[in-house]
Amino acid sequence: MTKPIIFVGYESKQHVAFEVLEFSLRHHSSTDLDIRPLRLDHLEREIGFDRPRDPLQSTEFTYSRFLVPYLCNYEGRALFMDCDMLCLADINEIFSLDLSSSWVRVVKQSQNVTRSTKMDGQPQMAYPRKNWSSLMLMNCAALTCWSLQAVKEMSGRWLHRFEPIPDEAIGDIAAEWNVLDRYDEHTRMLHYTDGGPWLPNCSHHPYGDIWFTYLDRCQKARSGQPIVEASAHR
């Protein structure tokens, strides 16, 4: 059986976010996972992805996320997710979703932007289908529209609003798999869109204690110590 392939948007200044997300994915998974960070310097060197920096982009992976079908040779299925997430359930539940009539499946967020900044002081922008591209289960064979050249050259609007994809080919993922800055007993993926608790100015995020619990588990696992259940509160 092929391992589920997960590409994670990678931010060089927030490596710890990737480490903890990767740990949380593996911790809850019922299968082995193939987890690949989308490192911008590697993409520039290995495939010539040299798109100029957009002054409006807030992360290094604003555009590289759309390279996933190309990186998979337009074969099979793959998942993309932002690095500012924390997995609280078995990600294989997403990989088991039907893609026979969908090019991509997402949590169809309806986000009301109320702040002018986000994540470490980056500008916050409102646009249709905002955050849909933060978690995408992709039918790679169907997404040839996202070629290397297109991802280099097409506008952020064209990419993030899924303009080349028919509306009926955009399927759903259950809302609990991309929960924005909230947590309850149904949350399966917590997404720290307002800034993760690993950032100095966001360390008091209302649900930061959950992330710190997983940080502790990750550190214990990396040092060879057993992972123990810890309180979600500090």
229 lies in some domain: no
Domain that holds residue 44: 5-222
227 lies in some domain: no
DSSP letter for each residue of 72-130 = TTT-SEEEEE-SSEEE-S-THHHHTS--TT-SEEE---------SEETTTEEP---TTT
159 lies in some domain: yes
Per-residue pLDDT band at 154 (split at 50, 70, 90):
very high
Domain of 97: which CATH number?
3.90.550.10
Average pLDDT over residues 101-129: 69
91 lies in some domain: yes
pTM, rounded to two decimals: 0.89
Among residues 42, 117, 116, 132, the alpha carbon closest in space to that of 82 is found at: 132
The CA distance from 15 to 232, in Å, is 22
52 lies in some domain: yes
Query: Helix count (H) and strand count (E) of the chain?
Result: 7, 11
Average confidence score pLDDT of the chain? 90
97 lies in some domain: yes
Using the predicted structure, report yes or no on whether residue 56 has a pLDDT greater than 70: yes
Using the predicted structure, report yes or no on whether residue 226 has a pLDDT greater than 80: no
Return the sign of the alpha-carbon dihedral for residues 11, 59, 24, 98.
Answer: negative
Which positions ≥6 away from 221 have C-beta within 8 Å?
Answer: 23, 227
- Quote the number of domains for the chain: 1
Residue type, 51: R
232 lies in some domain: no
| Contact between residue 231 and residue 216 where contact means Cβ atoms under 8 Å apart | no
228 lies in some domain: no
